[in-house]
Amino acid sequence: MKCVICNEGETLPGTTSVLLERDELRLTIEHVPAQLCPLCGEAYADETVATTLLREAEARVMAGIKVDACEYASLAG
């Protein structure tokens, strides 16, 4: 797909890191599958990946966790 940020690059499959912040939670998730723009670096996660990330953040907020980091594979597996 064409990158909607730079409107020039064609995205390629890869992985990225995602930082989610909500209230006091700071959750970093590494190796998240995404489409990456080779020109500007913008990353696009598909709906399934985004849903997994948001559900995990919600679960950690409900558990009272404030700062955490994990690998995407541990969430999706």
Query: Which pLDDT score, from 0 to 100, does residue 77 have?
Result: 64
Give the three-class secondary structure for 50: helix
Q: By percentage, how much of the chain surpasses pLDDT 90?
A: 90
Fold of 12-76: Ubiquitin-like (UB roll) (3.10.20)
Q: How far apart are CA 67 and CA 73, in angstroms?
A: 19
Asked if residue 25 has pLDDT above 70, the reply is yes
DSSP-assigned beta bridge partners for residue 18: 29
pTM as predicted? 0.89
- Rounded to whole angstroms, how far apart are CA atoms 13 and 56? 23
Q: Mind listing the pLDDT tens digit for each residue in 49-58?
A: 999 999 999 9
Determine the pLDDT at residue 35.
Answer: 97
Residue type, 30: E
